[in-house]
Amino acid sequence: MPKQPYHLNSTERTLIAVLLIIVIFVSPMSNFWAALDAPWFSPYLAWAVAIFLSWLLQRHIKDSLDK
Amino acid sequence: MRFEVWQLFLISILYLGLLFVIATAAEKKWLPESLVKHPIIYTLSLGVYATSWSFYGSVGLAEREGYTFLAVYLGVTIAFMASPILLKPILRLTKEYQLSSLADLLAFRYHSPFSGILVTLLMLTGALPYMALQIQAVTDSLQILTNETQSGFISLGFCLMITLFAILFGARHITPREKHEGLVIAIAFESLVKLVALMTVGLYAVFGTFNGFSGFSSWLENNTEATKALMQPIHDGPWAMMLLLSFSAAFLLPRQFHMIFVENIKTSNLNYASWAFPLFLLLLNISIPPILWAGQSMDLSYGPDLFVLGVSMQSQSAILPIFIFIGGISAASAMIIVTTIALASMCMNHLLLPVSLPKHKQQGVDLYSLLIWGKRILILLIILAGYAFYLFLQTHQELTDLGLISFVAVAQFLPGIFGLLYWNKASRQGFVSGLIVGALLWVITLILPLFSKAGWLVNSPLENIMIPMSSTDSAFWTLLLNSIFFIGASILWPQTEDERKAATACCNNNQGPTHAIPVASTINEFESGLAETIGSETAAKEIKLAISDLKLNEAELDRSDFASLRVQIRHNLSGLIGPVLAGMVVNEQLEVDTSAKVAIADTIQFVEKSLQDSRLELKEISGELDSLRRFHRQVLHDLPLAAVTISLEYQVVSWNKAMEKLTGATEQSMIGKDISRLTSPWSRLILNFLKGDKAVLRSSRINLDDQISILNLFKSDVSGLAENEQHGFVVLLQDHSEIHQLESELAHSERLASIGRLATGVAHEIGNPVTGIACLAQDMQAIPDDIKLQKESIDDILNLTNRISTIVHSLLSYSHVGAEIGHSPETVELRKMIKESLRLVSLSHKGKQIHFINNCPEELTLSGDHQKLLQVLVIVLTNASDASTEGDEVTINATEKNNMIELTVNDSGSGINENILDKIFDPFFTTKQAGEGTGLGLSLAYNIIKEHDGNIEINSQLNKGTQVTIRLTKPGNTLNI
């Protein structure tokens, strides 16, 4: 029987995205966007990537609390 | 360009007045609801996060710490990105349990009034430097624009004005469950003003100072150090700690908690805000580097904290500085208004009410007025405390330093929040000890040095114990020690039972079956109980509100409803007076009936919901068991037979799809409810059946929408594991209407077939009197003058026609279609009915040869369908006569035994072979020749007798005879529906 594709639930997706953002902002990866000779707006670009990820995350969330 | 103080005050009042008009327009529904409830309004209202620190202080922080100032907003972005696992669970708790502040939430989780007090005090203390920051920023901006040196008057005037508006926005009336829609839209408007103002200065910096983007780029090319100065602190500065601080401040600051959770109208708005709010912050901050560089290139005389205003003042227009001033007022006023409203609610619930409620109980003051006036006074006191703090500091502080002190204070709640969400073993001792240690260290490392800097600790012993350090270092050490104590004490001191329940409610999605049955069992008892503490008027209103929240009918409340009502009142009161006091009021005034069992329906619902909502997928054997459980549940649910499981307290435990279809009541509306809540006639039918002794009830007639339905009911006890343990009942309902109709049609066909078989006898019986009538008529014609003969002949003719009429009447009556559905049982005189059946049987050739003896007493009566019972007798007597030989006797006896009528028909005929005795009630089974019988007679008789709640037995011996015994219910013993 072929294996069913594994779908991430919203918690798993959120954890992965948060970890990714922490890696981008807190690890040595910050050397890429915060290099001394980088354009002045590069931190804002990194920030915009995080916002785009947030937008992707929340698209499929349905809420049971809303009446 | 200079302005007068009164001009700026007038502008401020006009601006705040405009906000009030906008808020009123939202509250009075003058604005379209789609706008007021739009997620963009909610998102903009979260912009209260950006205070004077962001508006003025960001440029100063950028100058000192470079791009580290962005960490203050990137932490917020991470917190909002983690919203499904961080903010949503908190939102669910605040909505479900009506928790209106962080103190409420933590006091609820750690089940301790002391936790609430501690959180409130730390929040209050932590907020004061932040409020002082706002007052300082507004005062500084006013001083720059007016060149006024007397700051005391300006700042006090600003504080009093803000107090007035804070009361107008947040404490005009008590709205614990309604949201402050006016406040939300006013704060959203303020955020928009801040954003537009800051972006305008940014654009002015680029176009006004650098003459456009090309000039801006060439300035940067010529000043490469400017960009490097911003980038360098990311690698060297306290970047990670700043991220952590802003992450916690994003939802733990009183104003943030209030706007994110308390004022949330729709959960989905939080999804929208999870990306839109960080986008708002990005747009707000993108102007900061250009403004900083513009200020530096202009060589302004003000400190960088006021570059925003300074750059705007370089424009030749008076409009831009005024607009920036309004932006600054927006930032400061929004922060102070929302913070004081949130803090007032916390102080009310955790400091004031626990002291004043017992006194109030004796004086009988209305709770609502106590709350509203208490909040107003608290708002005034908190703002004045903020003002006192501002005066107390004397020397001007950097705006961001004051803000960071508050950030470190609220970060102390992080361990508690993570315990609340993810560690259900975290205990009250852990939380309280961690918080005390963290708060003390915060005071030693940040507050005392602040006072010392202001010159208030000269020669004080406190100066010796203080350990000055930077905000980020303080954040690290306070959080480290706080967490160690939190974890250590939680492991050392286990939770109490109440804490465990609260922890389960927070970590999982529900609190367990806590719907304990209260002693009070009427609305009046509820009212009088609650009135003792919260006043009669408030009690009546709260009960009405809880009934409406639960969508209950006040006239039809059962015990399970009162249990739900008690829980709902507690939740609603929690929104008014906090969870701790609400719990105390409800536990004291609406005591639980300890003798009443927690309903099994609640337990099953709880287990079902827990399994459904479980965050962890069940693995292997547990998963298999869960699948099996779901399979069995689904089988019961999809069963084509209506099935309901009922507890011993008559509460519905399960309710399947067929039951929904049959009764029209949905599973959701019935689970956990008393079965008597079901509409008539179902409730009466099921309850009478449950209370009765019979396990099977056949052919119960019920009237549904002027249509009669025939139902068969079956019940069985649901037993537990232990011997004689019973959990409830399972009841099956079978709609028998269609089968009943078919059976009636079959019985009618069988009757017509019998009439066909009787045809020869009938012809003979009618033929004889007709011949007699003809002879008499001929005699009368022959001797017309004999009056006596004429008279006698006429009498004879009449007798003969009566005989014919009786035969025809019997046949007609017998062949008539059986009673229709809905025909109610009638009282039948047994002897008369036997006579009628004998008359019919005697029409046949065989019947005439048998001697029937009717020994039935006159007084015996039956309850049932005359037509059908007659058919049974005709079938049994015809069989008896068929089995007998000429001249044999068939005896019919009837007696009354134990409220039952026992009727026996004995013949001395051929009897029945023992081998076929068990088949004689089968349809189409016959021993007669083809054309003499259909094989349906005894099968029909059996069904008719069962339908009449009776039984039929046949005892036979080959060649000796047969005895048929029929037992039927006496009138008055039938189940009337």
Chain length of chain A: 67
Within an 8 Å CB–CB cutoff, is residue A20 touching chain B?
no
**Beta carbons of B269 and B263 less than 8 angstroms apart:** no
B53 and B103 in a single domain? The answer is yes
Is A57 within 8 Å of B85 when comparing Cβ atoms? Answer: no
B191 and B311 in a single domain? The answer is yes
Strand, coil or helix: what is B917?
Answer: helix
Distance CA B350, CA B345 (A): 9
**Residue B314, in any domain of the structure:** yes
B517 and B503 in a single domain? The answer is no
Is A47 within 8 Å of B74 when comparing Cβ atoms? Answer: yes
**Residue B589, in any domain of the structure:** yes
Distance CA B696, CA B652 (A): 20
Nearest by CB to A43, from B70, B226, B266: name it: B70
Q: Which of B353, B376, B404 is the last residue of a domain?
A: B404
Please tell me the number of Cα atoms within 13 Å of B335 on its side-chain side: 29
Three-state SS across B270-312?
HHHHHHHHHHHHHHHHCCHHHHHHHHHHHCCCCCHHHHHHHHH
**Of B43, B65, B74, B246, which to mutate for an interface test with A (greatest number of A Cβ within 10 Å)?**
B74
B593 and B612 in a single domain? The answer is no
Distance CA B779, CA B772 (A): 11
Is A17 within 8 Å of B240 when comparing Cβ atoms? Answer: no
Chain B neighbors of A57, CB-CB under 8 A: 81, 84, 274-275
Q: At which residue do the structure tokens 């798993």 appear?
A: A12
Residue B454: C-alpha distances to residues B134, B135, B326, B386, B397 (Å) = 18, 17, 30, 16, 9
B566 and B468 in a single domain? The answer is no
Is B85 within 8 Å of A38 when comparing Cβ atoms? Answer: no
Domain locations along chain A: 32-58
Is A40 within 8 Å of B272 when comparing Cβ atoms? Answer: no
Is A47 within 8 Å of B282 when comparing Cβ atoms? Answer: yes
Nearest by CB to A51, from B77, B92, B267: name it: B77
B574 and B661 in a single domain? The answer is no
Within an 8 Å CB–CB cutoff, is residue A49 touching chain B?
no
Is A54 within 8 Å of B220 when comparing Cβ atoms? Answer: no
Amino acid at B382: I
Distance CA B215, CA B750 (A): 109
Distance CA B613, CA B330 (A): 43
Within an 8 Å CB–CB cutoff, is residue A50 touching chain B?
yes
**Residue B643, in any domain of the structure:** yes
Within an 8 Å CB–CB cutoff, is residue A24 touching chain B?
no
Paired tokens of B741: 């109709």
Give the rounded distance of the alpha carbon of A66 from its chain centre: 26
Distance CA B113, CA B350 (A): 7
B806 and B752 in a single domain? The answer is yes
Paired tokens of B528: 């009088």
B499 and B559 in a single domain? The answer is no
Q: In sequence order, which residues have a C-beta less than 8 Å from that of residue B832 and are 6 or more positions away? A: none
Is A54 within 8 Å of B278 when comparing Cβ atoms? Answer: yes
CATH number at residue B945: 3.30.565.10
Nearest to B672 by CA among B686, B652, B650, B692: B652
Nearest to B297 by CA among B233, B218, B397: B218
Residue B170: C-alpha distances to residues A1, B28, B592 (Å) = 62, 15, 36
**Beta carbons of B406 and B256 less than 8 angstroms apart:** no
Q: At what angle do helices B737-782 and B937-947 cross, to 10 degrees?
A: 110
**Per-residue pLDDT at B265:** 85
**Residue B974, in any domain of the structure:** no
Distance CA B302, CA B81 (A): 37
Nearest by CB to A11, from B70, B84, B240: name it: B84
B889-897 and B851-854 strand pairing: parallel
Please tell me the number of Cα atoms within 13 Å of B687 on its side-chain side: 14
Q: How far is B94 from chain A (nearest CA, A)?
A: 11
**Beta carbons of B328 and B83 less than 8 angstroms apart:** no
Q: Which of B387, B404, B421 is the last residue of a domain?
A: B404
Chain A neighbors of B232, CB-CB under 8 A: 36
Chain A neighbors of B81, CB-CB under 8 A: 14, 17-18, 21, 50, 53-54, 57
**Per-residue pLDDT at B959:** 83
**Per-residue pLDDT at B176:** 55
B374 and B345 in a single domain? The answer is yes
Strand, coil or helix: what is B715?
Answer: strand
A66 burial class (0-12, 13-18, 19+ CB within 10 angstroms)?
A: exposed
Domain count, chain B: 5
Paired tokens of B772: 């007699």
**Per-residue pLDDT at B976:** 37
B615 and B759 in a single domain? The answer is no
Amino acid at B286: I
- To 5 degrees, how large is the angle CA B581–CA B122–CA B42? 75
**Per-residue pLDDT at A24:** 87
Paired tokens of B456: 């208030």
Interface contacts (A, B; CB < 8 Å): 105
Is B77 within 8 Å of A21 when comparing Cβ atoms? Answer: yes
Radius of gyration of chain B (CA): 45
**Residue B310, in any domain of the structure:** yes
CATH number at residue B712: 3.30.450.20
Paired tokens of B16: 């705040």
ipTM: 0.90
Distance CA B117, CA B350 (A): 5
Distance CA A11, CA A50 (A): 17
Residue of A nearest to B95 (CA): A65
Paired tokens of B649: 């307290």
Chain A neighbors of B282, CB-CB under 8 A: 44, 47-48, 51
* DSSP bridge partners of B951: B967
Distance CA B644, CA B660 (A): 10
Is A40 within 8 Å of B82 when comparing Cβ atoms? Answer: no
**Per-residue pLDDT at B29:** 86
b/e for B75-109, b at 16 or more Cβ within 10 A? bbbbbbbbbbbbbbbbbbbbbebbbbbbbbbbbbb
Strand, coil or helix: what is B710?
Answer: strand
Nearest by CB to B227, from A11, A40, A52: name it: A40
Is B267 within 8 Å of A25 when comparing Cβ atoms? Answer: no
Nearest by CB to B275, from A30, A40, A54: name it: A54
Q: Which of B466, B494, B512 is the last residue of a domain?
A: B512
**Beta carbons of B246 and B74 less than 8 angstroms apart:** yes
Paired tokens of B690: 């449950």
Chain B neighbors of A31, CB-CB under 8 A: 235
Residue of B nearest to A35 (CA): B231
Residue of A nearest to B238 (CA): A26
Q: How far is B243 from chain A (nearest CA, A)?
A: 9
B163 and B93 in a single domain? The answer is yes
b/e for B541-552, b at 16 or more Cβ within 10 A? ebbeebbeeeeb
B797 and B902 in a single domain? The answer is yes
**Per-residue pLDDT at B973:** 47
Residue of B nearest to A34 (CA): B231
**Per-residue pLDDT at B151:** 62
**Beta carbons of A57 and B81 less than 8 angstroms apart:** yes
Nearest to B838 by CA among B787, B771, B905, B773: B905
Strand, coil or helix: what is B369?
Answer: helix
Amino acid at B158: F
DSSP string for B606-628: HHHHHHHH-SSPP-HHHHHHHHH
**Residue B33, in any domain of the structure:** yes
Residues spanned by the domain of B615: 605-735
**Residue B536, in any domain of the structure:** yes
Chain A neighbors of B234, CB-CB under 8 A: 30, 34, 43
Averaged over successive runs of 10 residues, the pLDDT of chain B (977 residues) comes to 80 89 89 89 94 90 90 94 91 86 90 90 90 86 78 78 85 66 91 94 92 91 89 86 94 94 88 93 94 88 85 84 91 92 90 73 66 89 90 67 88 94 90 95 91 79 86 94 94 85 73 64 80 77 83 74 81 77 78 61 60 55 74 84 85 87 84 80 85 81 77 83 72 83 76 71 75 82 80 84 79 62 70 87 81 88 82 88 87 86 89 81 72 73 82 86 87 46
- What kind and span of H or E run contains B644? strand B642-647
Three-state SS across B203-231?
HHHHHHHCCCHHHHHHHHHHCHHHHHHHH
b/e for A29-53, b at 16 or more Cβ within 10 A? ebeebbeeebebebbbebbeebbeb
**Residue B977, in any domain of the structure:** no
